[in-house]
Amino acid sequence: MPSPIKLARPAWVEEFVGFIVKGNVVDLAVGIIIGAAFTTIVGSLVKDIFNPLFGLLIGGIDFSNIFITLKGPAQPTLDAARAAGAVTLNVGVFLNAVIQFLIVGFAVFWLVKGLTGLNMAGRAAGPTKTEVLLEEIRDLLAARK
């Protein structure tokens, strides 16, 4: 009976498996998934909460309908212009994206600031063992002189 042929596994397969199971990659994947969900929440916050309030403050303007028709028939709304096949500069859509970016940036800033504060609060006030040992070595060297 002939022996079965054994195929050698390429070295990069082991490297790839090691890379995938590292904590950093898993953390990154979790971050991307949470970021996608957070983006949906922020998009709704901008579209459904902030834009109506800003529009009310500046006279009832709907940001999503601020556009410039470059070519094609002039229409009262962006949806109507798109349906008519007009070429438009969508200034309001861009403003929505900028507002959304600023909100995400602000939220991430406070998240990082809070996590940094928690990290600092969890640290002991005294020196680490390494610092104590280095101070002892320094003092011994100073005493030898």
| Residue 25's CATH number | 1.10.1200.120
Residue 122 resides in a domain: yes
Residue 58 resides in a domain: yes
Return the pLDDT at 2. 67
Give residue 81's pLDDT band: very low, low, confident or very high (50, 70, 90). Answer: very high
Residue 7 resides in a domain: no
Residue 51 resides in a domain: yes
Residue 92 resides in a domain: yes
The structure's pTM equals 0.54
Measured distance CA(47)–CA(77) in Å, rounded: 16
DSSP secondary structure of 88-131:
EE-HHHHHHHHHHHHHHHHHHHHHHHHHHHHHHHHS-SSPPHHH
Q: Per the structure block, which two tokens stand in for 105?
A: 């940036």
Q: How many domains does the chain have?
A: 1
Summarised one tens digit per residue, pLDDT across range 102-134 is: 887 887 788 788 878 877 766 666 788 899 999
Residue 144 resides in a domain: no
Give residue 36's pLDDT band: very low, low, confident or very high (50, 70, 90). Answer: confident
Residue 83 resides in a domain: yes
Structural domain boundaries enclosing 57: 13-138
Return the pLDDT at 125. 67
Residue 4 resides in a domain: no
